[in-house]
Amino acid sequence: MHNAGYNLDYVFLLMLIESGQDIKDLCESPRMRALYQGLYRKGLITEEGKITVTGKELLSYTNEGIVVDKKVKKAKATLDFEAWWKAYPGTDTFVHKGNNFTGSRSLRTKKDECKLKFDKILEEGEYTVEEMIAALQYEVLQKKENSVKQKANKLTFMQNSLTYLNQCTFEPFIELVREGNNIVEAPQISGGTDI
């Protein structure tokens, strides 16, 4: 509605016209005249003041709610979750900077339950998909970098995907991302000598 340049004033005036009110009497003020002219310019009413097909569609849209957008939102939510799911490590076994780290368990678990929890987190509106993925990538890279530094697999301490979402483990990492922090891979040093 907003993208088409309509506002609630137009909807209100259309509702008055639909109910049989003569709104020309209301158009004494410059603001009301401008709104009435806007209805005509946008093709919502005819020159005679009758509601056009476009005007009826706008009224129908506002009366019925956003039915079409539910399918679009559901498809977007599915794509958002899939992007996050792919970013989540499958197991705690990984190779980083030429170092092999062997793990013992799967980290991605209960996909359907994760999707429900993920969607619920997004619906609350506190975090965006981008922040959720950035926080996850931040934590995973941090664990991999620490694994190389300490020569021990730190990804084994990563929670499984459902626990991660249920316990909101991402929150401190989202705060770091929001503050502009980012973890940078340390350069790989090769060819050194031990002393």
The pLDDT assigned to 171 comes to: 92
pLDDT of residue 68: 43
Distance CA 164, CA 132 (A): 11
Lowest pLDDT segment from 7-11, 74-78, 80-84, 153-157: 74-78
pLDDT of residue 67: 46
Residue 74's pLDDT is 58
Amino acid in the structure at residue 146: N
Q: Which DSSP string do the residues of 42-111 spell out, in sequence order?
A: TTSB-TTS-B-HHHHHHHHHHHH--SHHHHHHHHHHHHHHHHHHHHS-SBS-EEETTEEE---SB----H
Condensed to tens digits (0 to 9), the pLDDT of residues 139-157 reads 999 999 999 999 999 988 9
Give tens-digit pLDDT for 161-179: 999 999 999 999 989 888 8
pLDDT at 79 over 90: no
Q: What is the mean pLDDT of the chain?
A: 82
The rounded distance, in Å, linking the Cα atoms of 115 and 135 is 17
Q: Does residue 187 carry a pLDDT above 70?
A: no
pTM: 0.57
**Token pair of 154, please?**
């730190």
Q: How confident is the model at residue 184 (pLDDT cuts 50, 70, 90)?
A: low
Q: Percent of the chain at pLDDT above 70?
A: 82
Q: Write out pLDDT tens, residues 106-123.
A: 999 999 999 999 999 988
Mean pLDDT within 180-190: 64
Q: Which residue did the predictor score with more confidence, 77 or 61?
A: 61
What is the C-alpha separation between 75 and 77, in angstroms, rounded? Answer: 5
What is the per-residue pLDDT for 66?
46
The stretch 80-98 carries a mean pLDDT of: 90
